[in-house]
Structure 1
Amino acid sequence: MALNLTWSDNQEIHPISEELASLLERLLQEAGQAEKVEEGEVSLTFVTDQEIHELNKQYRNMDKPTDVLSFSMQEFVDEEPEILYELEEGEAEPDDFSDVLGDIVISVERAKAQAEDYGHSFEREVGFLFVHGFLHLIGYDHEDEAAEKTMMDKQEAILGKVGLSR
């Protein structure tokens, strides 16, 4: 297995082109290579501000929209979770999700506004958010200044490899 990207576009504000999807696939491969992640599946969903607001409230207890959310499956794979449910008699064990890295959700409205605010292309902003989400999926965070700098440096290096530098 290699790194695979599946994506869906659940909004109509700024339809996602095949060219952008191809660029995101290249970014995934570059990010995987940079981080020595050779296998896994990433699911990407483009949504509206309203949809990401609801997800942010539900999963992070933050009652506002955000630009990107990441839901890592690796937290459950690397360490055995406590019993999430009990199997019914005769029910098979669930499929192995060890190859699923997780889900990334991007608000297209927020990405479009931020691209305008920062004075760069929509593609660069979506690429930035995607790489940011990917790094979260594999365990990076930006809880303090040093961790944020590490993440930013990694993001910029990966974006630069596909021509999306600032």
Structure 2
Amino acid sequence: MSSDARRWLTEHAARAGRVLSVAGEVRVRVVADADMAAAHVKYSGVPGTTDVLTFDLRDDPGAGGPLDTDILVCIDEAHRQAAARGLSVERELLLYVVHGVLHCLGFDDHDEAGHRAMHNEEDRVLAAIGVGRTFAAPAAGEGDR
């Protein structure tokens, strides 16, 4: 990932955090399929790669308060999904970061209603920072990158 792409991702992730009124620390690590697959099986018991894994490190995650979060995002999955959606890899990675933060804020996408609510919130946040809807099919020319 280029330094310009990394800078764009960092700046837009910070903007998303402000929209979500997030306090605390969120650390993001970009990994390839092999590292993501190893983490996925180790921490979730699921073989194969995935797009994002979130680790909420607060003593009592349900109690709220400032975040202490590690997020792994998979660059290879981002390349695949970005190509399928016609978006930039950076925009896809930003979606993964927002998704991870939303998990720490109590969103869950393991059932249909939660899935819909979480992805609607992702798109709301991304639109609010000028990137445009990303999970839902974006309108032509919507947002940057």
Q: Which TM-score tier does this pair reach, normalised by the shorter chain? A: 0.7 to 0.9
Query: Match of 1:77, as an amino acid?
Result: D
Change in 2 beyond 3 A, CA 1:59/1:163 = same
Change in 2 beyond 3 A, CA 1:21/1:35 = same
Q: Distance in 1 between matches of 2:80 and 2:61?
A: 36
| Residue 77 of structure 1 pairs with residue 44 of structure 2 | no
CA RMSD of aligned residues (A): 2.1
Q: Which residue of 2 aligns with 1:61?
A: 45
Provide the secondary structure at the position in 2 that maps to 1:113.
Answer: helix
- Deviations along 1:33-60, one digit per CA (max 9) or x if unpaired, are 33332x2001100111000000000000
Query: Match of 1:31, as an amino acid?
Result: A
Percent of aligned positions that are identical: 30
Max radius of gyration: which structure? Answer: 1
Structure with the bigger percentage of helix: 2
Provide the secondary structure at the position in 1 that maps to 2:99.
Answer: helix
Provide the secondary structure at the position in 2 that maps to 1:70.
Answer: strand
Q: Which residue of 2 aligns with 1:20?
A: 5
CA contact (8 A) 1:46 1:107 kept: yes
Change in 2 beyond 3 A, CA 1:107/1:79 = closer
**Correspondence list, 1:123-142, <5 A:** 123-142=90-109
Change in 2 beyond 3 A, CA 1:127/1:136 = same
Q: Which residue of 2 aligns with 1:45?
A: 29
Q: Which of the residues 30, 36, 48 maps onto 2:21?
A: 36
Q: Distance in 1 between matches of 2:21 and 2:6?
A: 22
Provide the secondary structure at the position in 2 that maps to 1:101.
Answer: strand
The alignment's TM-score, normalised by the length of structure 2, stands at 0.79
Change in 2 beyond 3 A, CA 1:163/1:99 = closer
The alignment's TM-score, normalised by the length of structure 1, stands at 0.70
Q: Distance in 1 between matches of 2:73 and 2:31?
A: 6
Q: Which residue of 1 aligns with 2:127?
A: 160
Moved over 4 A (4+): none
User: How many residue pairs end up in the alignment?
Assistant: 132
Name stretches of at least 5 consecutive residues in structure 2 with no aligned partner.
133-137, 139-145
Name stretches of at least 5 consecutive residues in structure 1 with no aligned partner.
1-14, 81-97
Query: Match of 2:106, as an amino acid?
Result: G
Query: Match of 1:49, as an amino acid?
Result: D
Change in 2 beyond 3 A, CA 1:32/1:145 = same
